[in-house]
């Protein structure tokens, strides 16, 4: 956490873009059969459900934090050098 807190805004955005592209490429390659598979250990939860919950839901949490920071007038988040 300390290492991540010292990252610049540009470095954070670069990493976000790279990870987003990597995950989008992975998800695009999944077929209907893959998406419909049940997650091991979680009966009734499919891979599509987990993608929506873990990836999309996680991003929505961060998006809310960014909106709040913008509303509060902060130009950077705590721990950044921007």
- Kindly report whether the global pTM for this prediction surpasses the value 0.85: no
Higher pLDDT pick, 44 / 82: 44
* Residues 64 and 57 sit within 8 Å (Cβ to Cβ): no
pLDDT digits (tens, 9 = 90+) for 23-39: 999 999 999 999 999 99
Contacts of 69 (CB under 8 A, 6+ apart): 77
* pLDDT in the model for residue 7: 75
Q: For residue 82, what pLDDT band results from cuts at 50, 70 and 90?
A: very low
């Amino acid at each position: 956490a300390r290492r991540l807190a010292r990252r610049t805004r540009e470095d954070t955005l670069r990493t976000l873009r790279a990870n987003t592209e990597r995950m989008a490429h992975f998800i695009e390659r999944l077929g209907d059969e893959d998406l419909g598979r049940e997650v091991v250990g979680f009966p009734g939860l499919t891979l599509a459900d987990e993608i929506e919950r873990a990836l999309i839901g996680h991003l929505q949490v961060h998006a809310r934090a960014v909106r709040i920071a913008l509303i509060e007038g902060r130009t950077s988040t705590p721990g950044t050098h921007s």
